[in-house]
Every structure is written in C-alpha cells, then in structure tokens.
C-alpha cells in the first residue's frame, strides 16, 4: 500500500513537471509575439513622433528630405494581395474540385504531390522565374494594351514590365498550391453519404458539387482564401524581384510599386539616418498588424466552419 502511494506521488510530480514545462513553452511563444510587437513599437518611435498618424495616409517617401509615409506601400500590399487572390481563386476552386471529384486516385495522388512540392519551393525561385519569364510577357501585354487604348505612356513604360501586375500574377501562382490544397482538404471531408443522397435523388455529379459540396465547404473555403491572402500580403522576396520598387503612389496596375515587405527588404541596408530606420520599422509594424487581423479573421471563419 505504501509502495503504491509512493509511486503515485512520483507519477504526480512527473505530471506536474511536464505540465509546467509545457506551460513555459506556451508562455514563451505568446511572449515572443508580444515582444515582437513591443519591439517594433518602441524602435519605430522616432517615426511615430515625427509623422504621427499621418504616416498612414500621406504618400511621400523621400530619404533625402527625410519625409516618410506608408500609403503607397499599404496600397501596394493590399492591391497585390487581393489582386492575386481574385485571380487565383477560380483556379484554386477548379483544381480542388477536379482532384476531389473527377480525377481518379491514380491522377489525383501525383498531382497532389506536385502541388505540395510547388508550395514548398523557395520564393526566390519564383522570383527568378517571374523576372525572366513573367515580366517579359507582362511587358509585351503592356505594349499591346497601350496601343489598344492609345496610351503612349504605357507603350513607353512597357519596355520594363516590372510593376504591380507582374507582382499580382506571380503572387497568384505562388498562393495557388496553398489555397487549392486547403480547399481540397475540406472537399475531401464532405461525407460520402451526403453525395450519395444527392445522387440517389437523380442529381448529376455537377449538381451535387454545386448544391451540396460547395455549400458544405463554404466557410472553410473562405477561411482557406483568407489564409492564402495572409501569405500573399507577407511574401517578400519574389515580390521584391518583380514589383519595380517604386516609392510613388501607383496609378495603374502597370506602374512600378512596392509592398510593405518589399520596401523593408529593399531599403533596410541603405537606411542610414535614425528616422529612415524608424520609418521602415513602422512599415513592419503596419504589416504585423495587417497580418494579425487577417489571421484572426481566418481562424474565426474556420472555427465557425467546423461547428456547422
């Protein structure tokens, strides 16, 4: 009896120790995020005191006169992110539906593998491909489009091809593996008995997809798309390589622009004055907040999707 209570106590101590260790790790993780925020907040102080909230809506960025503001980059970030999402969503849905309901296992498995591979490719490779393949195509399109609408400015600028449009197209391709595999996962868990129920009523496969499967995965699909958007907004390397790094407010999709992430990556090494550095850090702070909002939104949507 005594023996047993002894081993019980040891068991208890071990359990306490384990849960304490786990708790510490969890706290450390949360603390890291909070400290990130605090660090960004503190080190961007010079910029915040110099420009205040107007940093968010003014659009001049001039290191020589030490005037800094974030609007062009915020616009660039949101335009490329949402643009990419808009273009890639129909393809993501198409791929997911095809793999879930039309391709047999023999076709679907290798394609799924390739999608995973594509998703794991380092973004600098996408960037290089974008620079050497996508940008020249965009440039041709820009000249063609300029001639079509009779804009000499477009025809002239079309010689470069770098700009928001190139970034949008490249991002659309980059988030496609991510969004399509997330949508595919949710399509695959639609209960077979619901699909059979629909088929047994005389529905075709397409009827079933449209009226049963897609409504069933609606929320998780929106969640998947929001997560993909988060990816697009934070993508740095590939975007930097094709977006043109213009610090002026872009007026058309063909204009060179910048995202928050690419501006930081591009300019941090050349930033010499404390105010310049602080302004770049404030860009990071804005990106941090946008990323957190997007992620929370996605979690909320996904959780509701599960409860359904």
Partner 1 sequence: MEESLIALETQKINAWFGKDQVLFEVSVRIPRQRVTAIMGPSGCGKTTFVRTLNGLHLMTPGARSSGTILLEGVDTSTMDVVDVRKHIGMVFQRPNPFPTMTVYENVLAGYRLTGQRLSREQADEIVEKTLTKVGLWGEVQEKLFKAGTSLSGGQQQRLCIARTIAMEPAVVLFDEPTSALDPKSTAIIEDLLSTLKADYTILFVTHGLQQAARISDYVAFFMMGELVEFGETKRVFVGPQDKRTEDYLSGKYG
Interface positions with partner 1 (CB under 8 A): 104-105, 191, 193-194, 196-204, 207-208, 211-212, 215-216, 218, 308
* Identity of the residue, 15 or 207, whose beta carbon is nearer to partner 1 in the bound complex: 207
* Identity of the residue, 4 or 106, whose beta carbon is nearer to partner 1 in the bound complex: 106
Closest distance to partner 1 from the beta carbon of 180 (Å): 22
Closest distance to partner 1 from the beta carbon of 200 (Å): 4
Closest distance to partner 1 from the beta carbon of 101 (Å): 11
Closest distance to partner 1 from the beta carbon of 72 (Å): 43
Give the span between the Cα atoms of 276 and 266, in whole angstroms. Answer: 13
Closest distance to partner 1 from the beta carbon of 93 (Å): 17
Closest distance to partner 1 from the beta carbon of 2 (Å): 50
Give the Cα-Cα-Cα angle 70, 71, 76 (nearest 5 degrees). Answer: 105
* Identity of the residue, 216 or 276, whose beta carbon is nearer to partner 1 in the bound complex: 216
* Identity of the residue, 154 or 302, whose beta carbon is nearer to partner 1 in the bound complex: 302
Give the span between the Cα atoms of 127 and 133, in whole angstroms. Answer: 10
Contact criterion met (CB below 8 Å) for 221 and 109 = no
Helices 218-234 and 164-188: crossing angle, nearest 10°?
A: 150
* Identity of the residue, 4 or 105, whose beta carbon is nearer to partner 1 in the bound complex: 105
Give the Cα-Cα-Cα angle 175, 249, 245 (nearest 5 degrees). Answer: 55
- Find the farthest-apart pair of alpha carbons in the chain and give their distance in angstroms, rounded: 95
Closest distance to partner 1 from the beta carbon of 30 (Å): 35
Closest distance to partner 1 from the beta carbon of 211 (Å): 5
* Identity of the residue, 223 or 250, whose beta carbon is nearer to partner 1 in the bound complex: 223
Give the Cα-Cα-Cα angle 204, 206, 207 (nearest 5 degrees). Answer: 65
* Identity of the residue, 154 or 198, whose beta carbon is nearer to partner 1 in the bound complex: 198
């Amino acid at each position: 009896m005594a023996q047993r209570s002894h081993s019980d106590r040891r068991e208890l101590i071990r359990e306490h120790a384990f849960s304490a260790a786990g708790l510490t790790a969890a706290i450390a993780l949360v603390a890291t995020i909070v400290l990130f925020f605090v660090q960004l907040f503190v080190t961007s102080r010079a910029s915040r005191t110099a420009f205040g909230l107007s940093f968010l809506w003014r659009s001049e960025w001039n290191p020589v006169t030490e005037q800094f503001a974030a609007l062009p980059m915020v616009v660039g970030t949101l335009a490329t992110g949402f643009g990419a999402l808009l273009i890639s969503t129909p393809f993501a849905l198409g791929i997911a539906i095809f793999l879930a309901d039309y391709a047999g296992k023999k076709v679907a498995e290798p394609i799924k593998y390739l999608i995973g591979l594509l998703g794991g490719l380092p973004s600098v490779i996408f960037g290089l491909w974008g620079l050497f393949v996508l940008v020249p195509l965009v440039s041709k399109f820009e000249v063609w489009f300029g001639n079509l609408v009779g804009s000499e400015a477009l025809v002239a600028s079309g010689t470069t091809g770098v700009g928001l449009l190139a970034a949008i197209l490249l991002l659309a391709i980059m988030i496609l593996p991510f969004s399509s595999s997330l949508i595919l996962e949710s399509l695959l868990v639609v209960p077979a008995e619901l699909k059979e129920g629909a088929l047994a009523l005389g529905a075709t496969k397409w009827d079933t997809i449209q009226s049963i499967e897609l409504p069933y995965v609606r929320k998780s699909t929106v969640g998947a798309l929001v997560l993909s958007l988060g990816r697009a907004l934070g993508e740095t390397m590939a975007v930097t390589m094709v977006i043109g790094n213009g610090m002026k407010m872009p007026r058309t999709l063909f204009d060179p622009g910048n995202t928050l992430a690419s501006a930081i990556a591009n300019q941090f090494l050349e930033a010499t004055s404390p105010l310049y550095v602080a302004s770049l850090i404030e860009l990071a702070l804005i990106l941090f907040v946008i990323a957190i909002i997007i992620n929370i939104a996605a979690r909320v949507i996904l959780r509701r999707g599960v409860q359904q």
